[in-house]
Chain A
Amino acid sequence: MKLNGDDVRAIAYEARLSLTNAELEGAVSYINNFLEMAGRFKELDLKNVEPFRFAESRECPLREDKPEPFAQAPDILAARCAADAGAFFKVPRIMEE
């Protein structure tokens, strides 16, 4: 199963990426090398194998429901703030033509 430049550009589009010609070449080569290597998986019978969830059996730790405001919240907002966005994060037109 080999992918070509068009295939890779289509995937890149989904990933919100555009590629230069050199990058496209690199990506095509990378993904095809990868697929060749990963093709080995079909040699194995994985029907009764559990997926690896954590390196040892471990349970999700739970936090007590205690609210604690983050002191540097204003720094987060200040980090990306278009001039006319006030207390919001601004994005341009969402709907495509």
Chain B
Amino acid sequence: MRFRSMGAREIAAGVREKKFSAAEVFEECLRTATDCEDRLSALAAVTAEAGRIQAKRVDEKVAKGEDPGLLAGVPVVIKDNICANGIRTAAGSRILGDWVPPYDATAWSLLADQGAVLLGKGSMDELATGVSDGSAAAVAAGYVPFSLGSDTGGSIRLPASYCGIYGLKPTYGLVSRYGMISYGSSLDQIGPFTRSVEDMELVMRVLARHDPKDSTSVSKNEIFARRTNTLKGRRIALVKEFMDFSPTLDQITADAMKRTIRLFEESGSEVIEVSLPTVARYAAACYYTIAASEAYTNFARFDGVRCGRAAEAAGLREMFETTRSEGFDGGVKSRIIVGTYLSEPDCYEKYYVAATRVRTLIAEEFYKTFDADRIDCILQPVTPSLSGKIGELNLYTLTANVAGLPAFSLPAGLQIIGPRWSDGELLDIGLEVEKISGAPKIAYFLQRR
């Protein structure tokens, strides 16, 4: 079981240097996955056949002396709302039926071009409206060294926290959304799960590319060039309104916050308190308004005519209604209902239009604070509570989506949020923290042998 504890960088180097083959790596990872799956259910699909073909291609390139890529032979899991050509995508929902996308998501094809090998599609909550993520579990349990997830209001950072690994929600626009099934189009971003900061950086270098197929994608991949390697002089902010730990918050997280604050201070960083009252009071309402409005339009295409599940019916309305009602669960239906309601003339100004303006105020409050107080990043818990009530579980994560900011979740249940395009800086900070507190281990308690 030698590959299970290796990171992506190590595996890729090993394959390039012919220490071992991509096929070997793939078969072992496949065995790990199949061993653990009945307990973990991390995968919606295992792509053994496709993966073997991809691994073979990598080995052929190595044999010919061609460059097999930065991720040569590294097995990967991608969340099942990210399309891979020829491989069934369900996005956690019945509504997609047996649909097989005839195209690759750009993020996946960037990984594949660098030699990554697809092991499986990560299981997920329906259409990304929830936060559970099999891709995170797959990395934590050691199926693969890294995986791709998506984050609309916290669905990378929350599972990363629970699984004790790293998760990055990049700055909005840094990673192409083409080929990811949209939930909240102006909130969604694809991001990696990894077990080390080094791997996070490697994968982000591959993913952060402008995509002409995504009009919201921006060209900024130079932000992952090496910068400072020290925490000395860094200014870390604690948000007054997000420091409410007790009694709802997990004691582990509270301890982790204390430890991390001390780590920063002892390393020469300055830890200061800031206040974000507008963010604290209105971000959740803003998020749910925008997410519902974008979701109801994004899910309107699921009517059974062109792809996915279709119900037999004598009339069109029946076909649409039955297809959608049998295909969606209650959670998705609730969001569609809210979005639909908000587009009625009587509500439109009060909620939707108001939310688009409140969003500006929220973003401005963040920008001003980063700017005026010269903040490198905000340190805060990933969640204030483990309850499922609307606006509580993801209250601390959705803020970054609303403002389009990068947010890097650390294994201890904490996250650092930075100004737009500070993704590289956040990884640098994370790397320094990791040097002191250590990288996450595989969740070996899941291993039977």
Residues of A within 8 A of B (CB): 3, 8, 11-12, 14-20, 22-23, 26-27, 30-31, 33-34, 37-38, 40-42, 44, 46, 49-52, 54-56, 58, 60-61, 63, 72, 75-76, 79-80, 89, 91-94, 96
Residues in B neighbouring A41, C-beta threshold 8 A: 282, 285, 350-351, 354-355, 358
Kindly identify, within residues 98 to 112 of chain B, every residue whose CB is under 8 Å from any CB belonging to chain A.
Answer: 99-100, 102-103
Query: A92 CA to B57 CA in the complex, in Å?
Result: 46
Query: A18 CA to B337 CA in the complex, in Å?
Result: 11
Known: A41-B282, A42-B350, A91-B305. A52 touches B363 (CB 8 A): yes
Query: A56 CA to B220 CA in the complex, in Å?
Result: 13
Known: A37-B391, A93-B314. A55 touches B357 (CB 8 A): no
Known: A30-B390, A79-B102. 7 other contacts (CB 8 A): A19-B330, A22-B330, A34-B338, A38-B285, A46-B358, A91-B316, A94-B315
Partner pick for A40 among B186, B216, B285, B341, CB 8 A cutoff: B285
Q: How far is the CB of A35 from the nearest CB of chain B, in Å?
A: 8
Residues in A neighbouring B322, C-beta threshold 8 A: 18
Residues in A neighbouring B340, C-beta threshold 8 A: 11, 14-15
Residues in A neighbouring B354, C-beta threshold 8 A: 38, 41-42, 44, 46
| Chain A residue nearest to B99 in the complex (CB) | A79
B316 contacts A34, CB within 8 Å? no
B358 contacts A44, CB within 8 Å? yes
Residues in B neighbouring A58, C-beta threshold 8 A: 173, 216, 218
Q: Which of B313, B318, B333, B389 lies at the interface centre, i.e. has the most chain A CB atoms within 10 A of its CB?
A: B333
A37 contacts B288, CB within 8 Å? yes
Residues in A neighbouring B316, C-beta threshold 8 A: 91-94
- Chain B interface SS verdict (over half): helix
A44 contacts B306, CB within 8 Å? no
Q: How far is the CB of B277 from the nearest CB of chain A, in Å?
A: 11
Partner pick for B356 among A31, A51, A80, CB 8 A cutoff: A51
B215 contacts A17, CB within 8 Å? no
Residues in A neighbouring B328, C-beta threshold 8 A: 17
**Does B334 count as interface, using CB distance less than 8 angstroms?**
yes
A12 contacts B337, CB within 8 Å? yes
Query: A8 CA to B317 CA in the complex, in Å?
Result: 18
Query: A34 CA to B322 CA in the complex, in Å?
Result: 26
Partner pick for A54 among B85, B216, B313, CB 8 A cutoff: B216
Q: Which of A16, A40, A42 lies at the interface centre, i.e. has the most chain B CB atoms within 10 A of its CB?
A: A16
Residues in A neighbouring B319, C-beta threshold 8 A: 91-92
A17 contacts B310, CB within 8 Å? no
A38 contacts B317, CB within 8 Å? no
Cβ contacts B348-376/A at 8 Å (1 or 0 each): 00110111111111010000000000000
What are 27 contact pairs spanning A and B, CB under 8 A?
A15-B324, A16-B321, A17-B337, A19-B333, A23-B333, A26-B334, A27-B333, A31-B334, A31-B337, A37-B284, A37-B288, A38-B289, A38-B355, A40-B281, A41-B358, A44-B358, A46-B358, A49-B357, A54-B173, A54-B216, A56-B420, A76-B306, A89-B305, A91-B316, A92-B319, A93-B316, A94-B315
B288 contacts A15, CB within 8 Å? no
Q: For chain B, which range describes its interface: under 10, 10 to 19, 20 to 34, or 35 or more residues?
A: 35 or more
Q: How far is the CB of B403 from the nearest CB of chain A, in Å?
A: 7
| Chain A residue nearest to B340 in the complex (CB) | A15
**Does B263 count as interface, using CB distance less than 8 angstroms?**
no
A17 contacts B102, CB within 8 Å? no
Q: How far is the CB of B430 from the nearest CB of chain A, in Å?
A: 22
Residues in B neighbouring A30, C-beta threshold 8 A: 334-335, 337-338, 390
Residues in A neighbouring B330, C-beta threshold 8 A: 19-20, 22-23, 26-27
Q: Which of B284, B334, B337, B358 lies at the interface centre, i.e. has the most chain A CB atoms within 10 A of its CB?
A: B337
| Chain A residue nearest to B354 in the complex (CB) | A41
| Chain A residue nearest to B312 in the complex (CB) | A92
Query: A97 CA to B403 CA in the complex, in Å?
Result: 48
A79 contacts B100, CB within 8 Å? yes
Known: A15-B336, A34-B288, A79-B99. A52 touches B356 (CB 8 A): yes
| Chain B residue nearest to A9 in the complex (CB) | B337
Q: How far is the CB of B351 from the nearest CB of chain A, in Å?
A: 5
B212 contacts A79, CB within 8 Å? no
Cβ contacts B270-286/A at 8 Å (1 or 0 each): 00000000000110110
A75 contacts B102, CB within 8 Å? yes
Residues in B neighbouring A72, C-beta threshold 8 A: 85, 102-103
Cβ contacts B383-424/A at 8 Å (1 or 0 each): 000000111000000000001100000000000000010000
Residues in A neighbouring B143, C-beta threshold 8 A: none
Known: A17-B337, A30-B390, A92-B314. A51 touches B216 (CB 8 A): no
Known: A52-B357, A76-B102. A61 touches B212 (CB 8 A): yes
B333 contacts A12, CB within 8 Å? yes
Residues in A neighbouring B296, C-beta threshold 8 A: 15
Q: How far is the CB of B203 from the nearest CB of chain A, in Å?
A: 22
